[in-house]
Amino acid sequence: MNNERKRGAQGKPYASIDIQYEVNGLDSLREIRDSTGQPMPHSHNEIEVLLLERGSGTWFLGGQVVTLLPGRLTVFWAVRPHQLIKSSHQMVVNCLTIPLAVFNEWQMPERFSKALLAGNTIQEPDRSQFGLDKRAFHNWHLDLKATDRNRHKLALLEIEARLGRLATRLPEPTGAEAAGSPAIFNHQYFEKVSQIADYVSRHFAEALTVPDIARAVGMHPTSATKMFKKICGMSLIHYLTQHRILHAQRLLVATDHKILDIALASGYRSASRFYAAYKKFCGDSPQHMRSSFDLRKVLMEPQARVLHVAKARAIQGLPLPESPAQNQRNSG
């Protein structure tokens, strides 16, 4: 067992790593946190799977502030900057990070993969799965710790199966989506998508263009654009804009930086271009986003499963998780 203490910018401990193991690039972590969050946002080109075991935590994720309580497996693509803002004392969270290459090899259903790559956060809708998931994480930690490669293989197969079951619970497509002919989802393109995502995450603050991105991954701009649209369900320029806006939103709610400084840090050469892009993407102004949030007042609500304190314009994809009132009606 690893009792290493993580430390913030001032050297103050903020988390105790209870268990951490890594096998074939897949990282397994069980962490006990105090009431502070992560000191800095981070991103990594992996699929992240979270399960709160005890307490509650508030994350800035995908342009939204959400509070999670124990009970539901949560999955998202961690390439977008995300940050744990605060947690209840002694919150216990289990986490798996799955390299995109490994996730690709599992060849999950197309709708599930596209939903994640389009920036959606997917949650287990069945609360009764909590006990099973908690036990499963315990077993995965032990199996990945073991020196027996057969146990490693069993853990990976079980994790693949668990995500596969979650994929079957996605709502069925309706309307034009259901009427359209199914696309051929070429999983070989995942590596290129992974390279594009990694390049954008490292260079979005620069004067970046679609030809620049395509050149960096060895593709023609037209081919890169068509491939990215087919796999992720959005254009490459939309993805670049989304990454820049999400970064700007994080700075708006977590810092006191001037709007111009945030615009420059997010890849815009002027405040006017930033305002225009933000208005088009979010439907309101950066000032409105900032005034809608006060992270000091984000509550740890004991009755809520997922609390949207405020949200920007929903990114395309699956419906947002249910509100606390909807959860109470459904549970009744």
Digit-coded pLDDT (tens) for 216-264: 999 999 999 988 887 777 788 988 998 888 888 878 877 889 999 999 9
Angle at CA of residue 75, ends 69 and 76, nearest 5°? 120
Measured distance CA(32)–CA(48) in Å, rounded: 18
Contact assessment for residue 237 and residue 199, using Cβ atoms and an 8 Å cutoff? no
Lowest mean pLDDT among 114-118, 183-187, 208-212: 183-187
Same domain, 250 and 317: no
Same domain, 163 and 271: no
- Residue-wise pLDDT for 283-300, tens only, equals 889 998 888 765 545 444
Same domain, 26 and 151: yes
pLDDT tier, 312 (very low <50, low <70, confident <90, very high otherwise): very low
Buried (b) or exposed (e) across 209-235, using 16+ Cβ within 10 A?
ebeebbebbebeeeebbebbeebbbbe
Contact assessment for residue 93 and residue 52, using Cβ atoms and an 8 Å cutoff? yes
User: Is residue 177 domain-resident?
Assistant: no
Same domain, 68 and 46: yes
Integer angstrom CA distances of residue 226 from 234, 256, 262, 318:
10, 39, 31, 22
Same domain, 27 and 168: yes
User: Is residue 141 domain-resident?
Assistant: yes
Same domain, 220 and 78: no
The domain in which residue 63 lies consists of 5-172+301-331
Is 186 buried (19+), middle (13-18) or exposed (0-12) by CB count in 10 A?
Answer: exposed
Measured distance CA(133)–CA(137) in Å, rounded: 6
What are the start-end ranges of the E strands in the chain?
5-7, 13-23, 26-33, 46-54, 57-61, 64-68, 74-77, 83-87, 91-99, 122-123, 306-311
User: Is residue 118 domain-resident?
Assistant: yes
Same domain, 135 and 267: no
- Residue-wise pLDDT for 318-328, tens only, equals 333 333 333 44
Six-digit token string for 108: 């999950």
pTM above 0.75, yes or no: no
Mean pLDDT of 253-282: 90
Buried (b) or exposed (e) across 276-285, using 16+ Cβ within 10 A?
ebbeebbeee
User: Is residue 27 domain-resident?
Assistant: yes
Integer angstrom CA distances of residue 232 from 47, 50, 193, 249:
14, 22, 8, 22
Q: So what's the pLDDT on residue 295?
A: 54
- Residue-wise pLDDT for 120-140, tens only, equals 889 998 889 999 999 999 999
Percent residues over pLDDT 70 in the chain: 70
CATH code of residue 243: 1.10.10.60
Contact assessment for residue 83 and residue 77, using Cβ atoms and an 8 Å cutoff? no
Measured distance CA(171)–CA(185) in Å, rounded: 19
Handedness of CA 82, 266, 254, 283 (dihedral sign): negative
Any idea which residue has 């930086």 for tokens? 257
Any idea which residue has 């853990």 for tokens? 155
User: Is residue 85 domain-resident?
Assistant: yes
User: Is residue 151 domain-resident?
Assistant: yes
Same domain, 18 and 65: yes
User: Is residue 320 domain-resident?
Assistant: yes
Q: For the chain, what is the domain count?
A: 2
User: Is residue 178 domain-resident?
Assistant: no
Same domain, 50 and 166: yes
pLDDT tier, 199 (very low <50, low <70, confident <90, very high otherwise): confident
Same domain, 24 and 143: yes
Same domain, 136 and 201: no
Same domain, 229 and 308: no
Q: Tell me which range, 4-18, 180-194, 256-270, 308-322, is most confidently predicted by mean pLDDT.
A: 256-270
CATH code of residue 68: 2.60.120.280
